[in-house]
Amino acid sequence: MQSHPEVAVLRYGHRPGRDDRMTTHVGLTARALGADRVLFPDNATQAAETVRDITGRFGGPFDVERTTELNATIEDWPGVVVHLTMYGEQLQSVDDEIRTTHREEPVLVVVGGEKVPGDVYEAADWNVGVTNQPHSEVAGLAVFLDRLFDGRELEQGYENAERRVIPEELGKHVVDVEDGDHAEGAAAGDGD
């Protein structure tokens, strides 16, 4: 979110095909839950395209980048690095400290894909377990960001959106945003 030092999410590792959907979900979760930017491995072309497409339609600002320099990004990060891993310290024992640090410093959140080398554990300022159970890197990222921003990310607005969903008790209400005006539009299909 724009009012803070930057929060970027780095997806460490990607297997084209097999990981396309998970990497896409990492990117979309980063965007929806308040991060400013996601960095994907260079081979995650399809996931990058999907996240850019969603950002174009539903608004930003949110940057999607691909890099061949995952390790250098971590080592040269001008702030603190949080690596999410089931082997790390308990989230509930470090989240206050990380939240306080983020008032002053940009945060890079590293989300593992396949194998994460020991170098990443050592380069991180915090290795954090969102539980010490095996589950989902997307779930871990989501809970981490919700706590980092203390729920404020749920209130964030988006600029330059083509469409916007209006919260409803029942049904689907999607508004087309045109030149600053709001024109009513039907939701496309019955899909979720």
CB of 183 to a second copy, least distance (A): 18
CB of 139 to a second copy, least distance (A): 4
CB of 106 to a second copy, least distance (A): 22
Sequence ranges of the binding site for S-adenosyl-L-methionine: 84, 112-116
**For 157-173, b where at least 16 C-beta lie within 10 A, e where not — what string?**
eeeebebbeeeeeeeee
CB of 34 to a second copy, least distance (A): 9
Sequence ranges of the binding site: 84, 112-116
Token code pair at residue 26? 């990492």
Nearer to a second copy, 122 or 184 (CB): 122
Nearer to a second copy, 4 or 32 (CB): 32
The CA–CA distances, whole Å, from 169 to 166, 172, 173, 176, 180 equal 10, 9, 10, 20, 26
Nearer to a second copy, 22 or 39 (CB): 22
- Please give the full DSSP string across 75-133, using - where no structure is assigned: HT-SSEEEEEEEEEEEHHHHHHHHHHHHTTS-EEEEEE-S---HHHHHH-SEEEESSSS
Q: Which residues bind a second copy (CB under 8 A)?
A: 21-22, 25, 28-29, 31-33, 54, 58, 85-93, 112, 114-118, 121-122, 126-127, 129-136, 138-143, 146-147, 151, 153-155, 158, 164-174, 187, 189-192
